[in-house]
Structure 1
Amino acid sequence: MKKREQYREIEDFLADESFRMWMKSKNDTDGWEEWTLEHPKRAKLVEEARLWLLAMKVPEQNLSQEQVDAALQNTWMKIEEKEHENKLEPKLIQLWNTAWFSKIAAILVLGLLSFYAYTNYFVDQANYSSYDEIVSNHDEDGLLEQINNSNKPQIVTLSDGSSVLLQPKSKLSYPKIFKGNERNVYLSGEAFFEISKNPKKPFFVHANEIVTKVVGTSFRIKAYANQSDVEVLVRTGKVKVNSEKTSYNSNQKEIVLLPNQALRFGRKNQTFDKITDITADKSISNSVRSIEQLSFEFTDIPVAQILKTMEQAYSIEIDFPEQELLKCHLTTSLSDQPLPEKLKIICKSIGNNSSYTMNGNQITILSKGCN
């Protein structure tokens, strides 16, 4: 069996058992998603293979792997027998070995397998909206894109002071400068948002089939392209969620979420499920991250301890003069502030011309000590 790094054709992926199982069960035990991110040149082939499987809706329906492999083998044997019976000319045999003809053969194999399966396993892709489609349908010029191909969250700071903690295997598109009366960003994957307050300029996050509207708050959105649900979890403030295809100026009722409430949007049936008690939902409660759990309310707490809390919450590194800040304590509330604003408040509270710089996930605080 060829190693996946050697795959050059769609049928290479279609014939791979672990690839088929990934597409069918969404259980990525063999690291296909990570491998695809590490090999962007293969991403197009992976996507084409996925679309062929989805188009033909070929799940297992209680078939064992031996049965699947036997069906594949029998199909190829029939094709070879047909070739022999027809006594194909050398030119036609050569044609059989070309890449495009092999693709057709692979498709025929999967088509025969569909007789062994039912057609309701895969989520109906017809109603799906892709990240690329949503971005291309909006008129903003000069969008920047941040792609997190690392294994750690990344901080993205927007022009309005808002901050986004972008999780691995996720990407965010956003304008260099927000113009007009709205602030629009586009997400594929998972991110935690802390939005700078501006009631006159609402903030919109477009993620798959839903759009989340906020003024100033913190919340998490989980919207991976290959998952059947989109989730929104509010930590502070209030958000309003609606369908991407529904204008906020229409009469369709939007769903309002308050702190510690969540929403699950089923992409197949276009359904909204509001969750008022996230502790009762195992999927939601088990996915809560540090930044959503840690408190940013501090009463006479050493500055060094506050900075350590921020390092843990944001998965960042903060370099600061420990000796100079050793005796510095703060009483402050940072719960509803983006990361840059948190740092500004801390530096201003310390005084003595304290300042900070940010370079990705690396933050440096300069200070001669507290006042």
Structure 2
Amino acid sequence: MNNYKSFEVRDWLEDLKFQRWVYHGESDDFWQNFLRDNPLQVANIELAKETLLSVRGEQDLISEKEVKYRVARILEAIPNEEKEPFLPWWSGNWLRVAAIFLVMTGFGMVFFKGKNFSAQFLPLSSTGIRDNQKPQMLEVVNKTSTIRLVNLPDGSSVILKKNARISYPKQFDKDKREVSMTGEAFFEVVKNPEQPFLVYTGSMVTKVKGTSFSIRANDEDEEVKLVVKTGIVEVSANDPDRIKAHKEIRKIVLKPNEQVTFNRKSLSMVTKMVAQPVLIDLSVEKQDFEFKRTPLNEVFAALEKTYGLTIRFDKAAVSNCTITAKLGDEPVTEKLEMICAVVNAKFESRNGVISVTSGGCE
């Protein structure tokens, strides 16, 4: 019997019994018990499971021989970390990218030259993040009648609704990422457990390590609401003096499809499950980014609608490019990088417009 307790992600990908569970649900009781008894393996198993599902995509069931071939292709693409350090832009998502590479049709040379988006910043009056030694701060206010995308220094993305604003440092601290915001916004946070992401909304603070969620924190409202789409979020009060007087105040951990309502006056928090993680009526809250043999121009159209982008590309050049993949809660820049990296393309942003150049797909 395999020594599953010492398995690495590579081992899980190659294990036939594990593959049969992922694809067909075989021996489910065994695997559920294993996950319960071996919590240290959960992260490896989830990554391997997600990768195997990406290999198959949502296409018809494929043979075990084909699975073995595709997994072998992925393992060939994985860097040998013992021989050479490897810190690519996707930082920890390389297995999923390799899997997506294999399930997309029409791919050629790979480019990794995507540029960060630019934004127009307004002068900052106050942020509420630090009391002294404030770093250089930036503020973005959405004064338009539509949504506005903001890309943060770490690559995380925020979609601001009308009149929402966000303040953040030009460069995040090494040990944490702090922003403050008011209004209604949707966050997709780059995963980095070593550098927690903190969102301050008045007397409430939200702590995440990489996830997606919506916040409604209008200045005139007595309550702040937050709904989690993916990942795990920790919510607590951010008022030291009042916290001392309210010993019952606690931190609350939220999982996907859970909502918290935070009362600014009493500092109380009420949680509930929701059928869908929709709080501020944005399309990104409902979008799952699943594509099945989808033409590339339709994929770009979905990103334009979801993030309020303008994407320019040569329709003739990408006419033969189709994609079968399931993207996750990555910020929009990572989604574009992953897509362009496997269809012989690259992109850049200028004056709020994304320009994609592609050599086409065979």
What's the TM-score once normalised by structure 1's chain length?
Answer: 0.59
Q: How many residues align?
A: 234
2:137–2:168 CA contact under 8 A, matched in 1: yes
Matches within 5 A, 1:40-189: 132=126, 134-135=128-129, 137=131, 139-189=133-183
Partner of residue 364, structure 1 = 355
Per-residue displacement from partner, 1:271-327 (whole Å, max 9, x unpaired)?
211121256xxxx85743211001212232111111111111112211111111111
Q: Which runs of 5+ in 2 are unaligned?
A: 1-124
Query: Is 1:238 aligned to 2:228, yes or no?
Result: no
1:45-67 Cα distance to aligned partner (Å, 9 max, x none)? xxxxxxxxxxxxxxxxxxxxxxx
Q: CA deviation at 1:135?
A: 3.9
Cα gap change, 1:315/1:141 in structure 2, threshold over 3 Å: closer, same or farther? same
Q: Is the 8 A contact 1:234 1:260 kept in 2?
A: yes
What do the CA deviations read for 1:84-109 (whole angstroms, capped 9, x no partner)?
xxxxxxxxxxxxxxxxxxxxxxxxxx
Contact 1:167 1:190 in 2 (8 A): yes
1:254 pairs with 2:248: no
Q: Secondary structure at the match of 1:134?
A: coil
What residue in structure 1 maps to residue 288 of structure 2? 295
1:274 to 268, 271, 276: 271
Structure 2 residue corresponding to 1:228, chosen from 198, 203, 222: 222
Q: Distance in 1 between matches of 2:278 and 2:194?
A: 33
Q: Quick check: 1:155–1:361 contact (8 Å CA) kept in 2? A: no
Larger radius of gyration: 1
Identical amino acids, percent of aligned pairs: 33
**What CA distance in whole angstroms lies between the structure 1 residues aligned with 2:348 and 2:196?**
27
Q: Which residue of 1 aligns with 2:21?
A: none
Q: What secondary structure does 2:342 align onto?
A: helix
Give 1:311's match in structure 2, choosing from 304, 308, 315.
304
Q: What's the CA shift string for 1:318-371, capped at 9, x where partnerless?
A: 1111111111011222222101000000100112xx111124642111112135
- Answer whether contact 1:235 1:260 (CA < 8 A) is retained: yes
Q: Which moved more, 1:144-153 or 1:284-293?
A: 284-293
- Counterpart AA for 2:353: Q
Q: Give the corresponding residue for 2:261.
A: 264
Tell me the alpha carbon deviations over residues 193-227 of structure 1, each in whole angstroms, 9 at most, x when there is no partner.
11111110010000121111111111111111111
Aligned CA distance change for structure 1 residues 233 and 359 (closer, same or farther; 3 Å): farther
Match of 2:17? none
Q: Name the aligned partner's letter for residue 361 of structure 2.
A: C
Do the aligned partners of 1:193 and 1:218 also contact (CA within 8 Å) in 2?
Answer: yes
Q: Considering only aligned residues, what root-mean-square deviation do their CA atoms show, in Å?
A: 2.5
TM-score (norm 2): 0.60
Matching residue of 2:53: none
Matched, 1:349 2:349: no
For the 8 Å contact 2:217–2:225, the answer to whether it is kept is: yes
Residue 204 of structure 1: SS of its match in structure 2? strand
Equivalent of residue 322 in structure 1, options 315, 331, 334: 315
**Worse-superposed segment, 266-275 or 303-312:** 266-275
Please state whether the residue corresponding to 1:307 is helix, strand or coil: helix
Of structures 1 and 2, the one with the larger relative CO (CA 8 A, separation 6+) is 2
- Among candidates 327, 339, 345, match of residue 332 of structure 2: 339
SS at match of 1:184: strand
Does structure 1 conserve the Cα–Cα contact (< 8 Å) formed by 2:156 and 2:190?
yes
Q: Give the 3 Å change call, closer, same or farther, for CA 306–275 of structure 1 in structure 2.
A: same
